Structure 1
Amino acid sequence: MDFLNSFINSNYGEKILYSFIVIFIIYLLKKINEKLIIEKIKEPKYKYYWNKTTNYLLVIIVFLAVGRIWFVGFQSLSTFLGLFSAGLAIALKELITNFAGWIYIISKKPFEIGDRIEIGNFSGDVIDISILNFTILEIGNWVNADQSTGRIVHIPNGIIFNQNLANYTKDFRYIWNEIPVLVTFNSNWKKAKEILLNIATEHSEHLSKEAEEKLKKAAAKYMIYYKKLTPIVYTSVEDSGILLTIRYLCHPRKRRGTAHEIWENILDEFSKHNDIDFAFPSQTIYLDTPKDSL
């Protein structure tokens, strides 16, 4: 008993006792936080952020408080505040990064609400921008031709600093789309090419004039050089036939619609000409006939 009393009254005994008291108080604060705050947060995302942040803060407070008990260097108020600030910055790193991302987004405006963007593995239409994240209505993924999946995706603002961003609709507001059409080697490919060019022109010629005006404005801000904005059909040769590729301008949100209309026109027009046939991968098999069977 005398040994225990002397140990408690010693310098080390006091430090151990105070350390246990600090850890116990922090443990009580953690339980109070879980019961009174975390359980009342309904949104899973905010519950996760709050729980993660408070746990980091409590660990840092334990480290600083116990360190201040055991090490003389921690007795300096300026040292204590400096270490606490550093620990706080580490604990709130994600929140600070997301807040800085929000400042960047609202000041530099790489995108705004209503823009169609692609960033990292995400693509969609921006429907909300908040302090910690922005929200998109997703396109693509398992759905073809940039159409909506119906999913709403919340993306942390901090992603703007470490992922490439593509904006479909800012400044220029048009994209190039291509439709490959494969015809057989025996087809009248020149006639087919002329038909395809007429169809593409019918669907996108009006956009060329609009795009030209937009391009002049965009060229004042970006180094954009397009010598030809009207539709064109490129010719190349594949293993199975002659590939005629239509290249034309369209609105980002109408890519699938215009492709649908163009393909229907192509099917109608090609059906009127017996000298134009679609090509497809095929194989020719030659069978050797035994001489005795002749």
Structure 2
Amino acid sequence: MDIKNEHDIAKASSTPANHMLFAGGYVLLAIISLGVYFLFRLHIFAFTPLLEKLLPKLALACFCTFIILSLARFAERSITRHAHVKSQGYNLVRVIRLLSLFVVFLVFISFLNANWYTTAASLGIVSLILGFALQTPIASLMGWVYIVIRSPFKVGDRIQVSNFTGDVVEINYLDTTLWEFAGDYLTNDLPSGRLIRFPNSLIFQDEVYNYSWNKFPYIWNEIPFHVAYESDLPFIEQSIRRIATEELGDMDEKVKELRQMIKKTPVDELEVKEYPFVQLRINANTWVEVLLIYLVEPKHSGTTRTNLIKRILEELMKEPDKVMFPKTNAR
């Protein structure tokens, strides 16, 4: 299954119409389960004494189960339709599904075992055994809880965890799925076409780099241009800054936002320019390196970089007397 088809299927399963279809199916199954329960209570069929006692409880447990699942689907439909932030709605739906499965588990245990004290003791023993046997999955489940509560990333964010980099397309209870960009076969930030799945427990072991922070969804990027010592450096700097401003738009508001955020932190004396700025440095060989430094949205950095390089080189090459590029083999 390719990435597009998998993404379309996941999207279709979360539509309001789909939730209503499932909810209607659960209600129908609940009615059937209730009818089966009354049939067993009428003793129309001959069963062993154990089955005569067990089957009505099982039918009633199924009735309660389908009612719980239908209510969960109605809640998911309401969240999907009214959630203003898709990532928050996504997390709420996941929480509701987990809670509904947990309640269903308790319903079956309670109906099949009338003694609550015995049920609680059994659950304690089972939990102890599973705790030792399933340490890694439990750690991943706790990682999911941490992701939902602390929100180090959400669906749609561009992140890096350990050696994995990509856009988050799904956060499950045990693992997270990334749509990889860059990777082993690319040196830019374009999608590689591969999916990465890593256990949620990994966030307790490695740093999480989020390039899509909702409070300031930009990163600093830079492009180096190499020119000869004899070039007109003020002209080059002015030309690069002008083209970058035309291409990127006004950055004053973005930088003001960043400055306001910095004021609320212990960080001091951080120089933040109010426009795309240019820095010069001497290369170890035979040229001057002119660096264009600017703000850009992470997912648009590749396209923006390409457009800037094209326009800047085209402009600089119009003035060969002022802009001299290195021509020796040392370059």
Task: Please give the TM-score of this superposition, normalised by the length of structure 1.
Answer: 0.62
Match of 1:200 in 2: 244
Match of 2:205 in 1: 162
Match of 1:89 in 2: 131
1:221–1:91 CA distance, 2 compared to 1 (3 A): farther
Match of 2:43 in 1: none
Cα root mean square deviation, aligned: 2.5
Match of 1:272 in 2: 318
Give the 3-state SS of the residue equivalent to 1:187 in structure 2: coil
Q: Distance in 1 between matches of 2:189 and 2:240?
A: 23
CA shift, 1:126, in A, is: 0.6
Does residue 104 in structure 1 map to residue 151 in structure 2?
no
Which digits, 9 at most, give the CA deviation of each residue in 1:115-164, with x for residues without a partner?
Answer: 11111001111111110011111011122332111111111100010000
Q: Distance in 1 between matches of 2:315 and 2:132?
A: 65
Residues 18-37 of structure 1 aligned to structure 2 (within 5 Å): none
Q: Distance in 1 between matches of 2:140 and 2:246?
A: 46
Match of 1:139 in 2: 181
Does residue 252 in structure 1 map to residue 298 in structure 2?
yes
CA shift, 1:273, in A, is: 0.5
The answer (yes or no) to whether the contact 1:172–1:215 under 8 Å persists in 2 is no
1:241–1:226 CA distance, 2 compared to 1 (3 A): closer
CA shift, 1:214, in A, is: 6.1
Which digits, 9 at most, give the CA deviation of each residue in 1:165-211, with x for residues without a partner?
Answer: 11001121000000000001222222112211111222224244245
Q: Distance in 2 between matches of 1:107 and 1:222?
A: 25
The answer (yes or no) to whether the contact 1:172–1:218 under 8 Å persists in 2 is no
Q: Distance in 2 between matches of 1:223 and 1:158?
A: 31
CA shift, 1:217, in A, is: 5.6
Does residue 150 in structure 1 map to residue 193 in structure 2?
yes
Q: Distance in 2 between matches of 1:243 and 1:177?
A: 15
Match of 1:236 in 2: 281
Q: Distance in 2 between matches of 1:249 and 1:92?
A: 45
The answer (yes or no) to whether the contact 2:255–2:272 under 8 Å persists in 1 is no
1:154–1:229 CA distance, 2 compared to 1 (3 A): farther
- Of 93-102 and 196-205, deviating more is 196-205
Give the 3-state SS of the residue equivalent to 1:206 in structure 2: coil
Total equivalences in the alignment: 203
Q: Distance in 1 between matches of 2:191 and 2:234?
A: 37
CA shift, 1:212, in A, is: 2.7
Which digits, 9 at most, give the CA deviation of each residue in 1:51-83, with x for residues without a partner?
Answer: xxxxxxxxxxxxxxxxxxxxxxxxxxx9xx98x
Percent identity between the two aligned chains: 30
Q: Distance in 1 between matches of 2:220 and 2:299?
A: 12
Does residue 180 in structure 1 map to residue 224 in structure 2?
yes
Does residue 191 in structure 1 map to residue 238 in structure 2?
no
The answer (yes or no) to whether the contact 2:222–2:294 under 8 Å persists in 1 is yes
The answer (yes or no) to whether the contact 2:251–2:276 under 8 Å persists in 1 is no
Q: Distance in 2 between matches of 1:151 and 1:161?
A: 24
The answer (yes or no) to whether the contact 1:174–1:211 under 8 Å persists in 2 is no
Give the 3-state SS of the residue equivalent to 1:128 in structure 2: strand
1:127 to 169, 193, 196: 169
1:207–1:137 CA distance, 2 compared to 1 (3 A): farther
